[in-house]
Amino acid sequence: MPRQTGDIVKNMPLRIAIAVLAIATAAAFAVPARGAKPRSQGPVGLGLGSFHAECAYSHRLSDDPIVFPRGPGASHPHDFFGSMSTDAFSTPLSIQAGPTSCTRTNSTVTADKDRSAYWVPTLYVANQPVVATTMGAYYKSGVRYTQSIKPFPKDFKMIAGSAAGGPQEIDAELVWYFECPGGTLVNGSSTVAPTCKTPRIDLSIRFPDCWDGVNIDTADLKSHVAYSRKLDGAAARTCPPTHPTLLPQLEISFRYPTTAGPSLRLASGAINTAHADFMNGWDQPTLQALVENCLVVDKYCGGGDLPAH
């Protein structure tokens, strides 16, 4: 039987015994400070955990298998990355069986590839379509209770942003943004894209990272997911009670060979209609392993132009 505090104290010098009893009493009756980390949620990550896939442009269609399933031509034009078979009739099962434009350069195992489908409204500059050279899909731990992160479930779908025009920022975190990696000539705004010094402008879109734990999709296409938030005094971003399951923080970045500027628009409208879609096509055991070995333990497993480990 484990020894009790009293048994240990009996064999200690008086001064040390008093200190031990004081610590034990304080621990027993302590009330967590507002926003303090609950013990059950584990340590707060530093945001180091990540893995990623690089995906080439595949094709363009006026299809959207999430918003307009089985409705070819019903959508504004989208540029598709990842799954090379994505169209209006695509399902998670069909894309998992097809080819992909995504690579993880350290891997030679076929099943290790990301066969997910990613798509974004076609981008126009001076009314001419511009094709992104590549797209990076970044899966991150974030500053959250990383031990609670779960992989996206099989057949999962979600949308980030809104074709009707949505907020650029939620709880001090950007949902979408344009930036100039080579330097900015003229700053942009929430309605006008920046003008870049060199012919490259990136559009990055951040997806919701909390799930209701039940639905892989919903009729309104969005209520099954939510964004984590950082409450006052909290050590980490947490999920709302309605969406308790912590998912990887997925951010995708499209790289366009143009200096852009005020003439940039999207097929859905002004730049504040920026949005993107994700349909899970990962091999589930591979995704599970990456989440456990990179995100849960808050380990850097490749980002930027580096391969995932």
Q: What is the pTM of this model?
A: 0.83
Residue 99, pLDDT above cutoff 70: yes
Q: How far is the CA of 226 from the CAs of 170, 210, 280, in angstroms?
A: 10, 5, 17
Q: What is the pLDDT of residues 30-52, one digit of tens each?
A: 333 333 444 446 788 888 999 88
Report the distance separating Cα 287 and Cα 152, nearest Å.
8
Q: 209 vs 308, which has greater pLDDT?
A: 209
Answer yes or no: are the C-beta atoms of 207 and 250 closer than 8 Å: yes
Mean pLDDT of 285-295: 91
Residue 233 is predicted with a pLDDT of 76
Q: What is the mean pLDDT of the chain?
A: 84
Residue 19, pLDDT above cutoff 60: no
Residue 105 is predicted with a pLDDT of 53
- Can you say whether residue 85 is alpha, beta or left, with left for phi > 0 and alpha for psi between -120 and 50 degrees? alpha
Residue 166 is predicted with a pLDDT of 80
Report the distance separating Cα 60 and Cα 184, nearest Å.
29
Q: What is the pLDDT of residues 101-110, one digit of tens each?
A: 998 755 555 5
Residue 234, pLDDT above cutoff 90: no
pLDDT band for position 167 (cuts 50, 70, 90): confident
pLDDT band for position 11 (cuts 50, 70, 90): very low
Report the distance separating Cα 44 and Cα 42, nearest Å.
7
